[in-house]
């Protein structure tokens, strides 16, 4: 069994195109909506349409932030459960030194 304390987090992964694509889907689309809405309003289109795009972009980014916070809580619960299984199997916590008899 591997040590649950040594599990890697997504932020520790190296940069890849897949990671960049995920970032764009999570936050980039919302930023594009915000910038596009501001540009549309500044270019002379209806201010209401531009601000509707800005509001949609803010809502999309907010939704992704809330979802990521929820996933983080699930990850922490999984790590705690793995540490408890390790304790049941070995008699000590993964971040502690084994007891000497």
Domain span at residue 70 reads 16-90
Q: Is 27 exposed, middle or buried (0-12, 13-18, 19+ CB in 10 A)?
A: middle
Q: What is the DSSP letter of 44?
A: T
Confirm whether 35 is domain-assigned.
yes
> Which of these, 61, 41, 66, lies nearest to 52 by C-alpha position?
41
d(CA 22, CA 32): 15
Summarised one tens digit per residue, pLDDT across range 48-74 is 888 999 999 999 999 999 998 888 887
Q: Where do we find the tokens 């008899």? A: 101
pTM of the model: 0.59
* pLDDT(6) > 90: no
Confirm whether 37 is domain-assigned.
yes
* pLDDT(13) > 50: yes
Counted domains in the chain: 1
């Amino acid at each position: 069994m591997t040590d649950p304390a040594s599990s890697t987090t997504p932020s520790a992964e190296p940069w890849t195109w897949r990671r960049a694509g995920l970032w764009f889907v999570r936050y980039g689309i919302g930023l594009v909506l915000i910038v596009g809405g501001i540009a549309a309003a500044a270019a002379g289109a209806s201010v209401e349409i531009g601000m509707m795009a800005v509001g949609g972009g803010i809502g999309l980014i907010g939704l992704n932030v809330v979802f990521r916070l929820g996933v983080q809580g699930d990850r922490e619960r999984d790590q705690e459960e793995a540490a408890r299984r390790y304790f049941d199997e070995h008699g000590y916590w993964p971040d502690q030194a084994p007891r000497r008899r």
